[in-house]
Amino acid sequence: MTAAQSICGPLQGEGMTVVYKQIVPEQPFPFPWSKDEFFNAFPEARLGLPPYGIQPIDLSDIQDADLVMVVGQSWFLSPSLPIQSFFTNECIKQYLCGRSVIFVNACRNMWLKTSHAIKQYVKDAGATLVGHIVLQDNNAPNLVSVITIIRWLLYGKKEPTRLLPQAGISDRELAEASRFGEVIRDTWRDRALGNLQDRLLAAGAIKYKPSVLFIEKIGHRMFGLWAKFVRKKGGFGDPRRRGRLNAFCIYLFTVLFAVSPFGVLFFWLTYPFRHIPRHRNEDCSVK
């Protein structure tokens, strides 16, 4: 079952219709990924420069839609390249203009900068973000989930082993995401979309992990510098940038496994000075 199917389940029937559309990139991204293909997506994803667009989506049967839900992943602390291509497509922007949008972010656990980018895309399209749901890996601590997601993305192995849990969002959490559909349905019936995010948050739409987001904010800044450094050697797919991408790969794993634990320790030692409730309100809002 996909996240979209789970959430939209309760919206189907009872006078409501759900129409699914797929975002298909003009050039497919591989699965499972090779290491080179995976890192090649990094600079453009981080800098918001999708190398190609999406295949046309037939919007003729959804012109009278009341609500648009977009489901997509995070790549390198940014919206995935297909999601970026979707939101920057002129036909899509015209379609979204004046509509209410819910974004569902499927990711490992770093969603904050994706949410900032999505807020901007929705604003640029003249639409209103009314809901933001994060489906993330809650099975495993941060560093274990790095290992399980690599096993999934590079080797196609999602199932648990004797030592590792299942990769990514668990089947149970995926199934339980249908409760967000119930919240959306009831809020729609109450004509209270302005309160949707508060109701979604009350139903657990974003599990807030401040130490992970602390690492994400630092990583996002460093990724930006690396992405520009790699792009100096060439654009998407240019073999001349392989050396710099390999260096980024070494940097990434060194920082993740050797430095980030100290970052987390520093975060918790300075926790009393961090105004977490205020940040939580800002980070989880759709404003």
Ligand X SMILES: Cc1cc2nc3c(=O)[nH]c(=O)nc-3n(C[C@H](O)[C@H](O)[C@H](O)COP(=O)(O)O)c2cc1C
Contact positions vs ligand X (CB under 6 A): 38, 41, 73-77, 106-110, 149, 153, 168
DSSP 127: -
Give 100 or 114: the residue with its C-beta nearer to ligand X. Answer: 114
Q: Give dist(CA 284, CA 286) in Å, integer.
A: 7
Give 76 or 86: the residue with its C-beta nearer to ligand X. Answer: 76
Q: DSSP H helical segments within 125-177, as ranges?
A: 142-155, 171-176
Cβ partners under 8 Å of residue 151, min gap 6: 157, 158, 164, 167
Cβ atoms of residues 11 and 181 within 8 Å: yes
Give 6 or 187: the residue with its C-beta nearer to ligand X. Answer: 6
Q: Give dist(CA 106, CA 111) in Å, integer.
A: 8
Nearest to 173 by CA among 114, 119, 117, 104: 104
Give 38 or 248: the residue with its C-beta nearer to ligand X. Answer: 38
Q: In the bound complex, what is the minimum distance in angstroms from residue 154's beta carbon to ligand X?
A: 9
Q: In the bound complex, what is the minimum distance in angstroms from residue 228's beta carbon to ligand X?
A: 17
Give 113 or 199: the residue with its C-beta nearer to ligand X. Answer: 113
Q: In the bound complex, what is the minimum distance in angstroms from residue 90's beta carbon to ligand X?
A: 25
Q: In the bound complex, what is the minimum distance in angstroms from residue 124's beta carbon to ligand X?
A: 22
Cβ atoms of residues 102 and 130 within 8 Å: yes
Give 149 or 201: the residue with its C-beta nearer to ligand X. Answer: 149
Question: Which DSSP string corresponds to 228-279?
Answer: HHHHTT-STT-GGGHHHHHHHHHHHHHIIIIIHHHHHHHHHHTGGGS-HHHH
Cβ atoms of residues 202 and 131 within 8 Å: no
Q: In the bound complex, what is the minimum distance in angstroms from residue 186's beta carbon to ligand X?
A: 27
Q: In the bound complex, what is the minimum distance in angstroms from residue 107's beta carbon to ligand X?
A: 3
